[in-house]
Amino acid sequence: MTKEYTLHIAHLYGDLMNTYGDLGNILVLKYYGKKMGINVESQVVSLDEDFKSDDYDIAVFGGGQDFEQSIVSKDFQTKKDEIKKFIDSDGCLLAICGGYQLLGKYYIDAEGNKIPGIGVLDHYTEQQHDNRFIGDIKIKNKETGEVYHGFENHQGVTYTGNGERPLGDVEQGYGNNGTDQAEGAIFKNVYCTYFHGPILARNNIIAKHILIKALKRRYPNDDFSAQEKIDVSESY
């Protein structure tokens, strides 16, 4: 690992969508990035600031409070084209809770308002009345066999659509909507989830997947077998 690699993270609305320690996802990407010989830089991209698809390798989009999310929903529409370009060009995007909802068509907030997403993914989010899904959650990804642990806390119930596969099947907890056994969504290199914890802190393997994919996209001619051997099995 003699060559110096750099990856750029866009922390989407990091100053507004930050309710559940989501900054931890970025800290963990930097931590494992360092172990893999990658210099990981992150920058907050917020209201009235341009998101340029080509500038970034990874985007992290956390969850916020209803008030903040309603403001972000309006601004996010102005970033829709570049976000779509980023996703179509295999950019890695990790979207949690409100971030997950805003990538889809819409969500209904606690007061019953319909808040538009940007619809680059096909899911939508309805509201459950007088109930939240709160507690520890465990899911299994069918394709990899990996088991993920997290904590969920959401009133929205999300239904995935065209081209979206679940992040995992629910083994314990509620997941997207409490009925179809699915949690989260994967579309190209986009990972959506309701997992707090934060997700990458408790499931280091996903951090590794994201870093490797971002490396291969940014440096398509290099060999990353050394990075792929980095052990992330220990959660501490």
Report the run of H or E that residue 103 belongs to, with start and end.
helix 98-103
* 149 carries an active-site annotation: no
Beta carbons within 8 Å of 199's beta carbon, 6+ residues apart: 25, 94, 96, 148, 150, 193, 206
Catalytic residue among 11, 123, 154, 196: 196
15 binds another protein (CB under 8 A): yes
Q: Which amino acid is residue 222, in one-letter code?
A: D
> Within 10 Å of residue 183's Cβ, how many Cβ atoms?
29
Q: Is 23 in the site for another protein (CB under 8 A)?
A: yes
Total binding residues for another protein by CB under 8 A? 35
Is residue 92 part of the annotated active site? The answer reads no
Q: Does 153 bind another protein (CB under 8 A)?
A: yes
Does residue 135 touch another protein according to CB under 8 A? yes
CB burial of residue 138 (10 Å; 0-12, 13-18, 19+):
middle
- Identify the residue among 6, 39, 113, 134 touching another protein (CB under 8 A): 134
Q: 125 near 108, Cβ under 8 Å?
A: yes
Site string for another protein, 88-127 (x = CB under 8 A): ----------------------x-----------------
84 vs 1, 9, 119, CA distance in Å?
Answer: 33, 16, 9
Residues forming contacts to another protein in the complex (CB under 8 A) are: 11, 14-16, 18-24, 27-28, 31, 44, 46-47, 65-68, 71, 110, 132, 134-135, 151, 153, 196-198, 201-202, 235-236
Catalytic residues: 97, 196
Binding site, residues?
132
